[in-house]
Amino acid sequence: MVTVSFLFIISILTVILGMIDSYFYEISLLQALMQNIVPEAETRRYLVSYFAFSGLVYSIFVDYRLRKNKKLEQD
């Protein structure tokens, strides 16, 4: 459930960021989303992508631990 919540929150924040970018830079929403999802080379947005990916890996790990603890409690 942690992973699903993480993906939902990241998706909502990405769409909101795309809407803000499309408004300020006067580009289409799809173009703004693509610029946020796949950043250009030599930008610091790769750092944001790295931390988002790290958060996804961590949330999968937490879900695994919670599922493992539930199985141990049931036995």
Q: What is the pLDDT of residue 59?
A: 94
Tell me 40's DSSP state: P
Query: How far out from the chain centre does Cα 38 lie?
Result: 13
Single-letter amino acid code for the residue at 19: M
Q: What is the pLDDT of residue 7?
A: 92
Region label for 38, one of left (φ > 0), alpha (ψ between -120 and 50) or beta (otherwise): beta
- Give 3-state DSSP helix, strand, coil % of the chain, rounded to 5: 85, 0, 15
CB-CB contact of 2 with 66 (8 Å) = yes
pLDDT one-digit tens code per residue, 33-64: 988 888 777 777 777 778 889 999 999 999 99
Q: What is the pLDDT of residue 55?
A: 92
Q: What is the pLDDT of residue 49?
A: 79
Rounded to two decimals, what is the model's pTM?
Answer: 0.73
